[in-house]
A and B are shown apart, each in its own frame.
Chain A
Amino acid sequence: MEKMVKRNKSSEELKNLGLKVVKDIEKNKNPSVIVPIRALSNVIFNEKTKTLELGDKTSTRYFFNVAHAKKFLQTIEVASISKDLINEEKHASLRDVFYMAKRTIPGTNVNLVDEQSESDDIIEDLELITENSREQLNVNANKNGSVVGKVTIEDSGDVIRWDKLGSGGWSIPSNVEEIKFKKVDAKYIIYMEKAAVWERLNEDKFWDKQNCIIISSQGQTTRGIRRLLQRLYEEFKLPIYVLCDFDSYGFYIYSVLKYGSINLAHASERLAIPSVKYLGITSNDIEKYGLQKHLIKLKDHDLARLKQISEYDWFKNNKQWQKEFKAMKQNGAKAEIQALSARGITFISEKYLPEKIKNKDFID
């Protein structure tokens, strides 16, 4: 019953967007939609909650404007696709939505959307305009990421034990709202950005020996993983440690998990986990574990990104982090997690991680 109400609500909000445009047309006004701005310029770091929040700056998208027209059309079209999905109780992937919107406008050589990034972008706009999450708009991302640990869950009526799924682990769906945790036996969680490192730790049964949960994605953390981590933290108070490359992109993965992302600042409440801690790789690790000979030289774009990150409000006054940024700049080099393999293939699971966790050698 509650589900039904929710569905009607997001569908109604999409319809309201359309009705506003119709009203403009009836009033003989240039039709427009107001879209909150999703950029650093409109992101505020809330010192109290320690998360990113979206400011109240907006932009107006007009139909009768040579530069806006196509995006305006995309907005209405994707809204209409999403509304149909909700009414038909079907879920589509971002890729599906792209193909549902993609077509050549008759009499022109213009495609309504050319790249999936365009329709993805509109979905994020619609989340803000209608104040519904992507999942509530019945759009899912591709599943991405694996998890293993002594955990039993129930998903769509199936009972699943994460520790009985062999080398692949449980693959994390894009929507984890409906999952029920039946039993969780772990002291902490390690999230890592590299699937290869996860495979190493799984093969070494690290999670069994250390009694923890290990989760990975490939590159940026998806919303499904972030929401899963947040639920495990909130429902079981498990500490979460982040294992990333020592480079500006690794730092930002940590930043997104902890504070929320600039692009999805509106969803921080549901996704950010202010208590996560950065486990490594740190500048200290490089010295302590003798990784100096296994560094990668920084390129211009690395340095540019590093400068950007070091100036973010939420890092600006953090002494520990500023020390890391400075060290990287001085070294002129970055380090991958896999550099630890230079010390032996099981070095990471037998020495590095246990030692760091025992000593509480984290950055907050």
Chain B
Amino acid sequence: MAEIKAYELAKQQREISISEFFLKNRHLLGFDNPTRALMMVVKEAVDNSLDACTEMKVLPEIKIEINQINENRFIVIVEDNGPGIVKQQIPNIFGKLLYGSKFHSMRQSRGQQGIGISAAVLYSQLTTGKSTKIYSRVSSKRPAHYFELQIDTKKNEPHIIKDDEVKWDKDHGTKIEIEIEGRYLKGKQSVDEYVKETAIVNPHATFVYVTPEKEKFEYRRVTEELPREAKGIKPHPYGIELGQLMKMLQDTRANTLQGFLQNDFSRIGQQTAQEICSKAKLKADRKPRQLENKEIELLFKSLQETKIMAPPGDCLSPITAELLEKGLRKEINADFYATVSRSPVVYRGMPFIIEVGIAYGGELDKEGQIRLMRLANRVPLLYQQGACAITESVSETSWKPYGLNQSGSNLPTGPAVVLVHIASVWVPFTNEAKEAIAHYDEIIKEIKLALQECGRKLSIYIHKHIKAAEQREKIDLFEKYIPELAVSLSNLTGDKKEILQDRLQKLLKKELPSLEAANGENGKEK
């Protein structure tokens, strides 16, 4: 009896603490300053829209609008053509933290903890006291629903202010209006940049974005091809941690250890399951819940030591090299593009795919460091660049052989954009704000391999085109030097400058082959 009471208490305590946890730790979730908060709200809403469209297999059309009410107050409106949400679920999805179907599935998706959009609602409530407005419709045969919601922070429950059926010209889709305190800035960490990068890595989606300054950006889709649907998978034994194994043993529906291993993990069959049990010196018919801690440790060790097939790659949905290039081409005006999409590999049992794209030359800024775009499961990472494994991998790659300048272990310099995308069932972020990838050796190694592969393509281009152009530029200088020399010389000797200039021009034609052959390095005066 007392035990049941304790469990109930524990449950309640946990629910109370989630909303309060947010209050105290909103920096962990990315709502720590007004500029970032504005970006986060847009990001959470757009992530949800894109995921919803992927599930329904529709080509996303997403409209983002930010209205500035006064200096530090904004209304963010995000509207999609996704499947919509059934009426009963709307309050839970938007009005309850940690609610969502993604938390328990092992599938590549944008959000993972289901904390995102409801955190935005809570942030709105905290900063403006306003309710969040939601329109949603699942089909033309059903009415559209309109909700005004708040979150009961003590109970972590949605508090419904208004619940109506309304007319809506869309057959299906969702629209959310959130009023928040924020600040709109341009630059590397802005909403503008977030939308742009999102458009690059989602070339199948169309975005219409209206900024607070009423500028309208349209990012048109360049492919009708939907991203491959990522299949859900069970955890792979190599990827789990001891605590996770303990929890799985408690939660399992299987009655025997062997059954647990076969049912709850991917890539474990009957034979492998028996092998794991015997290595751990545990009977295959043991009840999973009754294992002692020591035994669980043995089981965990045995799981790591037994040879188990790598997980299937079909749980991942890469952008693909072809579409990544299309995405880069449409949004970045450069002279050269190269993209690489690697095969799936595994860190801690989690499959992941690294994709890299490089755009070079054209209108890109020649001065300073390259522009690094980091993305995880098609979501741009705009903050904490310095703490990210992607940044480390790019900095530690030696770029000089590929034709970019670099001083020490810094980001290379030159007119280039380097985009790195990691697609994984479970992207290891350094913290809950999900802005930086954790430093796993396997991930860093794979990113470097992808960068090198892309770098080799870049190097071929640079050496063929750029070096030739530089040489050409130097030779062109002679055309400019000739009139100067003619003037000085004419002044010195009294010869006619027009004649001198003419003769020098002819001489240049004669000398051209040897100038070009010298490749800009005629060396010292001898």
Binding site for B on A (CB under 8 A): 14-15, 17-19, 21-22, 25-26, 28, 30-31, 35, 59-73, 76-77, 79-80, 83-84, 105-108, 110, 112
Contacts and interface: CB of A to CB of B under 8 A. Distances in A.
Interface string B497-526: 000100110111011001100101111111
20 contacts: A15-B492, A15-B493, A25-B500, A25-B504, A26-B503, A28-B506, A30-B511, A61-B525, A62-B522, A63-B481, A64-B511, A65-B522, A67-B521, A67-B522, A67-B525, A77-B484, A79-B488, A80-B489, A80-B492, A110-B477
B491 interface: yes
A21 B507 contact: no
Contacts of B488: 73, 76-77, 79-80
Given A25-B504, A108-B480, A66 B495 contact: no
B525 A64 contact: no
Contact of A21 (B489, B521, B525): B489
User: Can you list the 10 inter-chain pairs with the closest CB atoms, starting with the nearest?
Assistant: A18-B492, A59-B525, A18-B493, A64-B511, A65-B522, A80-B492, A77-B488, A80-B491, A76-B488, A67-B522
A66 B526 contact: no
B485 interface: yes
A77 B489 CA distance: 7
A68 B493 contact: no
Given A66-B474, A66-B515, A22 B491 contact: no
Contact of A107 (B480, B491, B525): B480
A298 to B, nearest CB: 30
B475 interface: yes
Nearest to B510: A28
Contact of A64 (B491, B507, B524): B507
Interface string B467-481: 000000011011011
A360 B520 CA distance: 59
Given A17-B492, A69-B481, 19 more contacts: A18-B492, A28-B503, A31-B504, A62-B525, A64-B507, A64-B508, A64-B511, A64-B514, A66-B520, A76-B485, A76-B489, A76-B492, A80-B489, A80-B492, A106-B483, A108-B477, A110-B477, A110-B480, A112-B484
B484 A79 contact: no
Contact of A35 (B489, B518, B525): B525
A83 to B, nearest CB: 6
A60 B525 contact: yes
A31 B506 CA distance: 13
Contacts of A70: 481
Contacts of B522: 62, 65-68
A59 B524 CA distance: 9
Nearest to A61: B525
Contacts of A22: 489, 493, 495, 500
A359 B396 CA distance: 67
Contacts of B500: 22, 25
Nearest to A29: B507
Given A22-B500, A66-B520, A84-B491, A73 B525 contact: no
A126 to B, nearest CB: 11
A319 B335 CA distance: 68
B496 to A, nearest CB: 10
Given A30-B507, A67-B521, A73 B493 contact: no
Contacts of B514: 64
Nearest to B482: A63
Contacts of B493: 15, 18-19, 22
Contacts of B485: 63, 72-73, 76
A260 B507 CA distance: 42
Nearest to B504: A25
A105 B481 contact: yes
Given A22-B495, A76-B489, A79-B492, A105 B480 contact: yes
Contacts of B480: 105-108, 110
Contacts of A71: 525
Nearest to A77: B488
Contacts of A72: 485
A66 B475 contact: yes
B514 to A, nearest CB: 8
Nearest to B519: A66
A25 B503 CA distance: 7
A25 B492 contact: no
A322 to B, nearest CB: 34
Contacts of A19: 493
Contacts of B477: 69, 108, 110
A130 to B, nearest CB: 12
Contacts of A80: 488-489, 491-492
A80 B491 CA distance: 6
B481 A73 contact: yes
Contacts of A31: 504, 507
Contacts of A35: 525
Nearest to A70: B481
A69 B482 CA distance: 10
A19 to B, nearest CB: 5
B372 to A, nearest CB: 29
Contacts of A112: 484
B521 A64 contact: no
Interface in B444-492: 474-475, 477-478, 480-481, 483-485, 488-489, 491-492
Most buried by A among B492, B504, B506: B492
B413 to A, nearest CB: 19
A151 B283 CA distance: 116
Contacts of B521: 66-67
B515 A64 contact: yes
A25 B525 contact: no
B484 A67 contact: no
B484 A105 contact: yes
A168 to B, nearest CB: 41
A26 B507 CA distance: 10
Contacts of B520: 66-67
A15 B500 CA distance: 15
Nearest to A108: B480
Contacts of A28: 503, 506-507, 510
A81 to B, nearest CB: 9
A59 B526 contact: yes
A112 B487 CA distance: 13
B378 to A, nearest CB: 42
B492 A60 contact: no
A70 B489 CA distance: 14
A8 B475 CA distance: 38
Contacts of B506: 28
A67 B519 CA distance: 11
Most buried by B among A22, A28, A106: A22
Contacts of A73: 481, 484-485, 488
A22 B490 CA distance: 9
Contact of B507 (A25, A76, A108, A110): A25
A101 to B, nearest CB: 9
A162 to B, nearest CB: 42
Contacts of B524: 59, 67
Contacts of A18: 489, 492-493
